[in-house]
Homo-oligomer: A and B are copies of this chain.
Amino acid sequence: MEAYEVFKDLAIILVAAKLFGLIARKFKTPQVVGEIIAGLIIGPSLLGWVETTDFLSEMAAIGVVLLMFTAGLETDLKDLKETGVTAFFVALMGVLTPLVFGTVMYLCFYGFDGFGTEKFLEALFIGTIMTATSVSITVQALRELGYLKGKLGTTIVSAAIIDDVMGIIVLTIVLGMKNGGSSILETLIKTLLFFVLAVGAGVIVYRLFKAYDKKYPHTRRIPIMGLAFCLVLSYVAEKYFGIADITGAYVAGVILCNMRDSEYIAEKMDINSYMLFGPVFFASIGIKTNIREFTLDILLFSVVFVIVALLSKIIGCSLVGKIAGFNWPDSLKMGVGMMTRGEVALIVSQKGLAAGMIEPVYFMAVIMLIIVSSIATPMILKSLFTKYPSPKA
């Protein structure tokens, strides 16, 4: 293929993704939803203008790694310390409840034939997709309502961050069980080993970066070396530990998140993301999904998937809130605040697709979940806060 053929694909993706991203925003849904729909339209499902190529897949792979690295970089470790225990348990239950409910739901649909079987792993993966909270819409809603900085707001935000870490651990373990075909024990050991090594190397790398950053703050070399570190950790994770590259990228971000210039790095990554790699990643999800395979059965599955995903988060998180001493309305707000899903759910699904654990057609369920949760959350939160005001910060 001539190099310039790539330009055509990229131009179509950029224009379509931006166009539908803006339309999505008009409908108060996240732009990524529009970008995926753009992919559905320009892809084989409808117009057939762009097909999946090796080049696009590799660009998309870089796109995900950039997204996860940025997510890691934006982690605020201080917030975590402050709300500590409560947030930890909110996150824990916010991960475990959907994981269990999602798995059971899949098995109800397609039958149970024993632990550790192919089908069980698929079910487990559907549960895994349900685990990751995307807090950005909740943050936006809380900010508008004036409750972002209170105890409730901080707990939700911290829980969502811890939720990400836990979600990635679950993903790592579940993928490991499939990939290596190895035992759960082996996967656990590899995962543990990776995190231990990453933390060990992380301490050294963090110090190097901190010293370097002090000497040359706000220079190009800082984000470039940061990106290189992220790529190295992604590579090492996949190559030597059989762990998802996005885990490596996320951990690289968390390692560097306390640097003075972490925001500066995140900003540069963000520009690279939204200019090219991000649209390519999200649109390529749409391009890979063939809408013609969408059946009534799958529609039914998707509806139940959305309901289970939302309710399980609300139940899990609200219960912990109540036990931690919040009143019922505040506990409920916590549950609703944690129920939004976003990019990470897609990224996880993408990994599952690559590992052969789910079919592309299930992306539709995930897309529906993102749309519904991101429209419903701000509305429900607003009415809850209006009916039952919380003490302000």
Contacts and interface: CB of A to CB of B under 8 A. Distances in A.
B231 A10 contact: yes
Interface string A1-29: 11111111011001100100010000000
Contact of A18 (B54, B221, B245): B221
Interface in A215-256: 220-221, 223-225, 227-229, 231-232, 234-235, 238-239, 245
A335 to B, nearest CB: 33
Contact of A2 (B3, B221, B238): B238
B235 A8 contact: yes
Interface stretch (A55-63, A78-86, A106-114, A162-170): A55-63
Given A55-B54, A61-B4, A65-B7, A22 B235 contact: no
B61 A238 contact: no
Nearest to A223: B275
A15 B228 contact: yes
A276 interface: yes
Q: Count the copies.
A: 2
Contact of A58 (B55, B223, B245): B55
Interface residues on A, range: 35 or more
A225 B18 contact: yes
B220 A274 contact: yes
A239 B1 CA distance: 12
Contact of A245 (B4, B221, B239, B274): B4
Given A268-B271, A271-B272, A275-B227, A232 B11 contact: yes
Contact of A238 (B4, B11, B225, B231): B4
A247 to B, nearest CB: 12
A344 to B, nearest CB: 18
A342 to B, nearest CB: 18
A2 B235 CA distance: 10
Contacts of A3: 57-58, 61, 245
Contact of A14 (B1, B227, B238): B227
Contact of A231 (B2, B8, B279): B8
A8 B271 CA distance: 22
A87 to B, nearest CB: 32
Given A11-B232, A54-B54, A6 B224 contact: no
A232 B228 CA distance: 30
Contacts of A275: 220, 223-224, 227, 268, 272
The 3 A-B residue pairs with the shortest CB-CB distance in the complex, in nearest-first order: A3-B61, A11-B231, A7-B231
29 contacts: A2-B238, A3-B57, A3-B58, A3-B245, A4-B61, A4-B234, A4-B245, A5-B235, A7-B231, A7-B234, A7-B245, A8-B231, A10-B228, A11-B228, A11-B231, A11-B232, A14-B224, A14-B231, A15-B225, A15-B228, A18-B221, A18-B228, A22-B221, A54-B55, A55-B58, A220-B275, A223-B275, A224-B274, A227-B276
Interface of A: 1-8, 10-11, 14-15, 18, 22, 54-55, 57-58, 61-62, 65, 220-221, 223-225, 227-229, 231-232, 234-235, 238-239, 245, 268, 271-272, 274-276, 279
